[in-house]
Structure 1
Amino acid sequence: MFSLVVQMQVRPGAREEFLAGMAANAEASVRDEPGCLRFDVSAVAADGNRFFLYELYTDAEAFEAHKASPHFARWRQVAERVLVPGSQVNTAGELLSTHTSEVSA
C-alpha cells in the first residue's frame, strides 16, 4: 500500500478556511475514490496552525487518481490562499505494518 505523510503550515487567521477545505477534500477522497483507504488530518498540539495528514492508498496509481480528482482541484485552490508558501512537505512511503484499536473522531 502507498502511504503519504504531509506536513503543512497554515497562515495566521486562515485556520477555519483550511479546516473546511481540508475536511471536504478528505471526506470526498474516502467516499469517492475506491483507492483511498484512509485520510487523517491532525493538528500539532504546540502550534494550532501546523498540521499533518496521513493518507493511505491501495497503490501509487490510486494516489495519482486522487491528484486528478475534482475535489483535489478545489482543495488546491483553497491551499493557495491558506498555506504558508513552501511549507508543505510530502513524504511518500509504503505501509509495512499496522496495528489499531480504531476510534473515529
Structure 2
Amino acid sequence: MIALTVSLQVVPGCRDAFLAAIEENAERTFTDEPGCRAFDVVCDLADDHHFVFHEIYDDEAAVDAHRTAPHYKVWREAAAKYVVPGSQVNTLSRRLFHHA
C-alpha cells in the first residue's frame, strides 16, 4: 500500500469553498477509484486553515490514476484558488502496518 500525505494552508476567507471542493474530491476519489482504500481530510486543532489529507492507495499506479481522474482536474482548479501558494507539501510513502 502507498500512503499519500498532503499538508496545506488555505487562503483566509476561503475555508468554506475549500471544504466543499475537497469534500467532493475526496468522495469521488474514494467511490470512483478502485485503487483508493481511504481518503481522510483532517484540520489542525490550532489552525483552522491548515489541513492534512491522508490517502491510501493500492500502489503507485493507483496514485497515478488518481492524478488523471476527471474530478482531480476540478480539484486542482479549486486548489489554485483556495490553497496558499507554496504551502502544499505532498509526501508518498509505503504503508508498513495499520491498526483499525
TM-score range for the pair, normalised by the shorter chain length: over 0.9
TM-score by length of 1: 0.94
TM-score, length basis structure 2: 0.99
SS in 2 for 1:48: coil
Structure 1 runs, 4 residues or longer, greater than 2 Å off:
none
Report the Cα offset of residue 36 of structure 1: 0.5
Structure 1 residues 1-105: aligned runs within 5 Å: 1-100=1-100
TM-fit CA distance, 1:8 = 0.3
CA–CA distance in structure 1, aligned partners of residues 2 and 99 of structure 2 = 17
Residue 30 of structure 1, CA deviation: 0.6
- In percent, how many aligned pairs have the same letter? 46
Instruction: Tell me the distance in 2 between the aligned counterparts of 1:16 and 1:74.
Output: 16
Cα distance between partner residues in 1 of 2:4 and 2:76: 17
Q: Distance in 2 between matches of 1:33 and 1:9?
A: 26
The runs of 5 or more residues in structure 2 that have no matched partner are: none
When the two structures are aligned, how many residues end up with a matched partner?
100
